[in-house]
Structure 1
């Protein structure tokens, strides 16, 4: 496979921002049913700030971990809502997972996805079944790990992660939320997808498109 460089990671974040922008209305509509109706806007603001910060990096000297740590700071500074600390933690953990690597291979990217999922889980103190983004991120990380153990290439690992995230997001429709504003709705939240899980699918889809094609 072709190694994933700093330039590729920056391009990945450009792809994520574009995908979130395209889905901004749908994500906010989902959030309007069980939350504040601003999730799409908030995520768009966050990733726009990330891209602005990354545009100032010297791609010749910055390594992949620097891309992720810079993204964490930019996202947190731009987003004060719950998603801010969650994704900032995800990117910080991902940076730690690949620290010292000038380029990334399949194993490093899978480690990055796993670290992001664990960071979100640890910071949010949520579990699968709580009707949160965890219901997409954890299955995605587990599927990527399983595909790696089966000897799959990077594209296949990321496709497996995306498929698992999509399935996980779908399962949130049948759940009663136990975290966040949606928990106040009780059974009235049943039938609606969690917006955080939906945006996780958008992000993982953009990652798969951007990095998977490099394998």
Structure 2
């Protein structure tokens, strides 16, 4: 049975940070079509702060890395995305705290705790044209793959694919929450920036963990 060493968490989160930082302009461009246009700026700020903090530390587990990221996102970036992403990462961190290694079932629990955590502060659902359109299908895909007996790496690949497909589905949706909801039908035909960043985060996490499975 494949497992992930919790001590490899720092490098995985650093890869996520780089992904968001590298896509700062793109995320703001997408957001600018129907939103404030600052999603990439705010996200890159938070993930860059996290990167700096992690690089200054020696040994950092995945749960510790998620906690560091969550604290920064909750306190250092503007808009609604900080609390939303912060809640996700806090939930994920609490689910794997203190574990030496993480198997597919425990990773599944981690994802579900992250989802449950953000659902405690947000009523957003799949179909609202938001990050939930990427997050929920990704979590469900991973859980279904685990239940079907798929290997850890395959579960991760299915999670990433579902997140990407979920994000792409937002292009055909009308926004029902947030600033974009004021546009009504005019919000259709554009991707939701939050779903795009969520798919990037989950896709990068999947790739980073898969490369480090024992």
Fold equivalence (TM over 0.5): yes
Aligned to 1:120, which of 108, 115, 118?
118
> What is the root-mean-square deviation of aligned Cα atoms in Å?
1.7
Please say if residues 74 and 82 of structure 2, whose CA atoms lie closer than 8 Å, have aligned partners that are also in contact. yes
Moved more, 180-189 or 7-16: 7-16
| In structure 2, C-alpha distance between the alignment counterparts of 1:21 and 1:70, rounded to whole Å | 17
Q: Under a length normalisation based on structure 2, what TM-score does the superposition of the two structures give? A: 0.92
Alignment of structure 1 residues 132-147 onto 2, 5 Å? 132-147=130-145
* Residue 117 (structure 1) shift: 2.5
Following superposition, the deviation at residue 151 of structure 1 comes to: 1.1
Secondary structure at 1:104 match in 2: strand
Give the aligned partner of residue 23 of structure 1. 23
**What whole-Å deviation, never above 9, does each CA across 1:9-41 have from its counterpart, x for those lacking one?**
111111111111222221111100111111111
Residue 83 of structure 1, CA deviation? 1.0
1:37 paired to 2:42? no
Offset at residue 168 of structure 1 (A) = 1.0
Aligned partners of 1:128 and 1:135 also within 8 Å? yes
Q: CA deviation at 1:50?
A: 1.6
Matches within 5 A, 1:6-155: 6-59=6-59, 63-155=61-153
- Residues 64 and 102, structure 1, Cα contact 8 Å, conserved in 2: no
Q: Which runs of 5+ in 2 are unaligned?
A: none
2-structure distance, mates of 1:214, 1:183: 41
Unaligned stretches of 5+ residues in structure 1 = none
Aligned-pair CA distance for 1:125: 1.6
2:177 to 176, 179, 185: 179
TM-score using structure 1 length: 0.92
Number of residue pairs matched? 213
Within 1, Cα distance between the matches of 2:88 and 2:211? 23
Secondary structure of residue in 1 paired with 2:102: coil
Runs of 4+ with deviation above 6 angstroms: none
Asked whether the equivalents of residues 163 and 203 of structure 2 are also in contact (C-alpha less than 8 Å), the reply is: no
